[in-house]
Amino acid sequence: MLESLAPFRDSGDGIIDSHAHFWSSDDLGTIVDEARRLGLRRVCVSSLYDWDWREAPDPGAGNSAVFEAAGENSELLGYVYLDPRFPDAAQAQIDLYIDHPSMIGVKLWIACKANDPLVQPIAERAERDDFIMLVHSWRRGSRLAKGHQTLPVQVAEMAASFPGVDVIMAHLGGDWENGIREVANVPSVSVDTCGSINEDGMVEMAVEVLGAERVLFGSDAPGSGYLPNIGKVTSALLEEEDKKLILGGNMARLLRKRSRGV
């Protein structure tokens, strides 16, 4: 596997993981060790740190941990985790971190809808201050997230209202065939390939419908492994140049727009 990564790892932009997490110091160590073992150029992480399914997670501790970890590990870049239901706290977290070169954007709490009016102030801020929005989109049966997760059509609606924001829709929307189609006509939306979903043709369809420039490699590590997530891109029936864009070039482009991490 390591030898097969050489053409991508050693290309101009290398391999950049657009979507990973850590929830403890052990997770952080695993992420950094894997990044170095596989030769990843950057890993973009978010954290709630003391993760559980609370009704009202407090992202502050996780954001502090991400900021500290990115300062200590050159491979890491951070997202500021936000819960839109607490708008003052969300804006305070943006104020605290977003101007730092190691912090590239925000990630929304998974149990919220992207087109909820509470998300609007965050999107307005992202458009004004030019940072990335990573939006979880999936169909999950958990007690807290059920009925509150963002569907791809809601990502498309929010992004169309704020065309100046680079939005990353995570997990290809979960229901990937529908998700890809729902965001096809909103050019500011890219999709990431991360997570346990690993089905024949999913990456190829994303490239066919969206263009390779709108597809990003992500792992969802440590919850999902690096090898299957990298493999779903490297084994796809695509031109090698398209694979290079997906594995690193596209995320590098988003980071260069903001002079972040590349």
Cis check: omega of the bond before 59, within 30 degrees of 0: no
Helix, strand, or coil (residue 140): coil
Vertex 197, ends 76 and 205: CA angle to 5°? 100
**Residue 148 domain boundaries:** 2-257
Tens of pLDDT along the chain (262 residues) come to 667 888 888 888 999 999 999 888 888 999 999 999 999 999 999 997 765 555 656 789 899 999 999 999 999 999 999 999 999 999 999 999 999 999 999 999 887 899 999 999 999 999 999 999 999 997 655 555 556 788 999 999 999 999 999 999 999 988 899 999 999 999 999 999 998 777 889 999 999 999 999 999 999 998 889 999 999 999 999 999 999 999 999 999 999 998 776 6
Residue 59 inside a domain? The answer is yes
Structure tokens belonging to residue 104:
């590239």
Does the residue 153 lie in any domain?
A: yes
Question: What's the whole-model pTM score?
Answer: 0.94
- 63 located within any domain: yes
- Identify whether 60 is part of a domain: yes
Q: How far apart are CA 180 and CA 137, in angstroms?
A: 11
Give the integer Cα–Cα distance in Å for 76 and 260: 11
Q: Using CA atoms, how far apart are residues 66 and 68, in angstroms rounded to an integer?
A: 5
Give me Rg for the CA atoms of the chain.
17
pLDDT value of residue 140: 54
> According to the model, what pLDDT value does residue 96 have?
98
Number of domains the chain contains:
1
Tell me, yes or no, whether 262 lies in a domain.
no
Lookup result for tokens 């090698």: 240
Q: Using DSSP, state whether 154 is helix, strand or coil.
A: helix
> What is the CATH classification number for the domain harbouring 219?
3.20.20.140
Identify whether 251 is part of a domain: yes
